[in-house]
Every structure is written in structure tokens, then in C-alpha cells.
Amino acid sequence: MGPEDSTGQDQAGRPEGARDEAPDAILTSLHAEPYSLCRPLRQKVPFVFASPHSGRLYPPSFIARSRLGAMALRRSEDALVDELVTAAVLELGAPMIAARFPRAYLDANRAASELDPAMFVGELATAPGLPSARVQAGLGVIPRIVRDGADIYRERLTADEADERLTRLYRPYHSALLALVEQTRAAFGTAVVIDCHSMPSAAAVPEVVLGDRYGISAAPLLTQRAQEAFELRAFTVARNVPYAGGFTTQLYGRPAHGVHALQIEVSRGLYLDEERILPGARFEDVRTRLAEALGHLTAVPLAELRAPRARALPWAAE
């Protein structure tokens, strides 16, 4: 925390967290284009792929107020996941959306209300929800820590900055993803969101973890098909442990309405030099095997995924 008096102001008389900064070209770019969206010439399958954690554009103004260097901040990334799968996704005839902002700056796989009021000076425009385990751990929609537990900020942020991140980055990402889901379901009678992630390598964790919130966010047939697809390409696979699916699967997974959501976690040790955060020696091999697995997954019989009758989507993105 910075020095402040009882009114919540710093020694210069400004609210704590406020600062004079030079224009930030990267932040301006993120505000103009919060996400990348790649579409095939024609969508051939009822799948929508998303990567909420592979963003790697770090605003200098963010790094300047952080206790951590750029490399330490990058430990929270699902590094290069978008590069692993985008070409295959387009070849299969599906759209791919990826957040351009980094997870340490804003986490699109959290509810907008997963805010820690203690991080901010002033009244938040988005009312914080009941403290979740993720918020209490420092991993809310605006994270307090990186994944290895180190604090990100030197001092509290202003409530206006929280609102700016949610308004200009978070909500445009989810609005675009929701539109893709609605368009896909309208065209095919069903839609499947594949939320793409990576996980730190560990000997006790399989190479791929499929998360369907223990059968709530996707039809069993879909999850079984995904497990089969990865095992046929020599990946070791687990379901829901240790990752059962996050906010994206919770928000979009409505199998009874013909909308399914499945989270896929791939071990970074397979494809990444985790120390340097660069493609590893097996990057191309893993990319090829993933492409084959996704081809098998997207060939799932559509009749098994459609709802009994068409109904309007019962939710909206936050």
C-alpha cells in the first residue's frame, strides 16, 4: 500500500491508486480490440473455441505499478494455447475467440462480481458478490496475486479502474462469445463451447484434464467423445480433477437447451519451455496430435447434442 492519511489520499492529496501516467499504447490497443476472433469462411461444425487466458499484451502502466517483473506476471498465462489450436480450429470450420489482455490484468474466466473490495479505493460500479474461494485466494476477476502466490500490486487500485477493465475488456469478450454461441445454435440446433486452457506440468497430473462440472455443463456423450479423442492420440486423460471447469463452463453450459461447455486443460510440459515461456521441443508434435483429437471430437453425432425442442438461451453474459 502507498502512504495515505485517514481520508484514503496519498501524500500529494490524490486518492490512493491514482497516478499520472504517460499514454499507454498497448492499453489503447486492448481497448480498441479486447479479443481476437478468427472465423472460417464457412462454419462447418457447431463448435465455438475460446481461450480466455492466452493474452500476452502487458500494458506498461500495469507493469509499472506491479511488484513483479514481466516474466513473473506471465506465469499466470495459459501461454501459447491460442497458437496451439487456432489453425486446427479454422481447418475444422469453427470460430476461435481469444482474449488479448493478460490474465494477471483481468481474468475472463471469472464472474464480473468476483471482486475483492479491499483491493480498491472508492465504490465499485459492479457490486461484489459473496466472497468466493477464488476471490479469497486472490484470484478474482481482477487478480491480486499471480498463480505462484506473489502479490501483483504495490498499492490499491481505484474503483474507476476496475470498472474500466470490466467495461472495456471483460464485457466485450463475453458479448462476442455469447453472440458466437447464439449464432451457432441458430445454425445447427446446438452449440458446443470448448474452453481451452493449459496447466502447470506436474508428475501427478495427467496430460489432459476435461472439465464438465461433473456432468452438469456438457452431455456425457460429449465428454466421453473428448476423452476417447485424446486417448487415441496417446494423451493421458482425467476428468474434472483437479480442474472441473470455471466460470465459462458454468455460464454457457446448458445441455437441456442444446448448449454444451467443456473445459480442456493441456499440460504445459508437453509443448512449452515453462522457464522461458517459449515453444518447447515438442510443440509441433503436440499441435498435430491436438488437431487430430479435435477433429475426432467435432465429428460427434449432432443429434445427440440437440435439445428436445428449440428454446431461447436462458442466460446472458455478464
153 located within any domain: yes
Instruction: Evaluate whether residue 268 is within a structural domain.
Output: yes
Closest CA to 50 of 210, 178, 217: 178
Does 26 map to a domain?
Answer: no
C-alpha closest to that of 211 among 242, 236, 245, 241: 245
Domain-embedded: residue 172:
yes
C-beta separation of 175 from 201 below 8 A: no
Q: Residue 23 domain-assigned? A: no
Compute CA distances 10 → 17, 22, 213, whole Å.
8, 20, 45
Give the chain's domain count.
Answer: 1
* pLDDT value, residue 21: 54
Q: What is the SS3 assignment for 186-236?
A: HHHCCEEEEEEEEECCCCCCCCEEEECCCCCCCCHHHHHHHHHHHHHCCCC
2, pLDDT greater than 60: no
Backbone angles phi, psi at 18, to 5 degrees: -80, 145
Task: Give me the CATH number covering residue 259.
Answer: 3.40.630.40
Q: Which letter does DSSP use for residue 51 in this model? A: E
Residue 11 has pLDDT above 60, yes or no: no
Is 142 strand, coil or helix?
coil
Nearest C-alpha neighbor of 47 from the set 183, 175, 211, 217: 183
Q: What pLDDT is attached to residue 5?
A: 39
Select from 24, 14, 21 the least CA-distant residue to 122: 14
Q: Is residue 20 part of a domain?
A: no
What mean pLDDT comes out for the span 24-28?
96
Give domain status of residue 68, yes or no: yes
Nearest partner of 199 among 237, 151, 242, judged by Cα: 242
**Is residue 21, in this structure, part of any structural domain at all?**
no
Q: What is the C-alpha separation between 127 and 115, in angstroms, rounded?
A: 8
CA-nearest of 91, 261, 300, 285 to 207 is 285
**Helical packing angle, 81-92 and 283-297, nearest 10°:** 40
**pTM given for the model:** 0.90
Cβ(79)–Cβ(272) under 8 Å?
A: yes
Dihedral sign, Cα of residue 163, residue 165, residue 170, residue 176? positive
**Structural domain boundaries enclosing 66:** 32-304
Q: Are 205 and 199 in contact (CB under 8 A)?
A: yes
| pLDDT tens figures, 99-150 | 999 999 999 999 999 999 999 999 999 999 888 899 999 999 999 999 888 9
Examine the pLDDT at 78 and tell me if it is beyond 90. Answer: yes
